[in-house]
Chain A
Amino acid sequence: MDMGTLARSMRARMPWPVGQRVLRQNELPRGHGWEKTVEKLSDERVNYDYAIEGTTNDLREHLLCGEKLVRLYMVSKPARNALTKTLQNVQLPKSRFREAYPALLSEDELEAGSSKPILISIEDSDEGVSAVFASVRSLLLKEPLTPDELPEGVADALSQYDEIVGIKYVRYEAVDVVSIPKTGDYVGIRVDFPNGMHRDVAEVAQSRLRTELSSLVKAEHLSSPVNLFPLIDAMYKAKTEGTVVELAFGTTTASLKHEKMRRRGTCLRDEAYHKGGKAALGSPIEPYRLSIVWRVPFSEGESTPELGLYSTALASGSANPILTDAVIRKCMGLRDFNYVEKRIEYFLSRV
Chain B
Amino acid sequence: MKGSFIVPGAVILVAALAATVVGQQTKDAIPQSPVDAIHKLVHAGRFEDMVAKTDSLPLDDPAWKNLFDVLVEAAEQQKDYTYLKRKAQEVLLRSRDSEMRALAAFVLGIGDWRSGQLSDAVAAFSEAIRITPGSELASNAEGNIHEIKDLGTGQPTPHFVAQTTGGAKLDLNDLRGKTVLLNFWASW
Specify whether A and B are partners.
no
Query: Which residues in B have some Cβ–Cβ distance to A below 8 Å?
Result: none
Query: Which residues in A have some Cβ–Cβ distance to B below 8 Å?
Result: none
